[in-house]
Amino acid sequence: MFEKVTIVIGATDESSSLVKIVESIADACDISDIESVLIVIPANAEKQCVDTIALLEEKYPSLVKHFVQRNPYIGGALRDSVEETVSSHIMFFTADIPVGLESIPTMIKLSKRSPEKIIKISRWLEKDSFFGYNRVRLVFNFFAQKLLKVLFLSPLTDFTSPVLIAPTDIYRNIRFREWNFPCLLEAVLIPVRMKLEIEEFPAKCYPREEGKSKNSVWQTLLYLKTAFRIRFTPKKKLYKIH
């Protein structure tokens, strides 16, 4: 049953994009569906980012919250945000606005209709969904999707974007191992491996407007190592099966 969703946003050096996200949520979503917009930051987050969050908390006191992650790296932020979430559902988004903001109310709508499913965006369901995307990365991403589709025998079209909404218990049960960016692949591929229900919908992909990407080409290549590990690891080591 869908009760409420916590929208988790990871941020480090973003400010204006955080304002855009929160204002869009406040304008386009039914606030009664949202437990909170939970912004997670590292201890060394830039001052402008921290100041912006304080202003958002002042403007939207019943909506916006933040906390400083306890565990390191992006994997720590993911684990800590799941631990902090008390709502029935959790949504993962990032402060660099990786896809159109209209995806947020769409995810909530689809999740309320099918609360047992993971609802996630796909940048590959429709043609011409990438805008200003690096051509080399685009080609690499295209072939990575094809490889993962075959490797996991899955009908999904986008395995590498972690923008999704799901029952929180799913992410409480995942046995995460990665601490850097491959943890985002775990967030998608472990549910795929466990044959959990996943529904995709099309979304547009845009380049970040501010902040610096922490995800290098080398880190992206490490995704493949993580993918093969997940594919051939016994399921009981990936997920807490009750």
Give the integer Cα–Cα distance in Å for 18 and 27. Answer: 14
- Taken in order of first residue, the domains within the chain and their CATH numbers are 5-237 (3.90.550.10)
Query: Is the CB of residue 132 less than 8 Å from the CB of residue 48?
Result: no
For residue 139, what are the contacts with CB-CB under 8 A and spacing of at least 6? none
E-strand stretches of 100-192:
118-122, 164-167
What are 105's two structure tokens?
């109310």
Here the tokens at position 212 are: 């610096």
The whole-number pLDDT of residue 31 equals 97
Cα angle 98, 129, 217; round to 5? 55
Q: Are 191 and 169 in contact (CB under 8 A)?
A: no
Q: 144 near 156, Cβ under 8 Å?
A: no
Bridge-based pairing of strands 64-68 and 34-41 is parallel
The 10 Å Cβ neighbour count of residue 135 is 8
| Short-list 171, 165, 166, 145, CA closest to 156 | 145
Q: First-to-last CA distance in the chain? A: 19
Mean pLDDT of successive 10-residue stretches along the chain, which has 242 residues = 98 96 98 99 97 98 98 98 98 93 98 98 94 88 95 97 97 97 96 98 86 62 91 97 69
Q: How far apart are CA 205 and CA 131, in angstroms?
A: 6
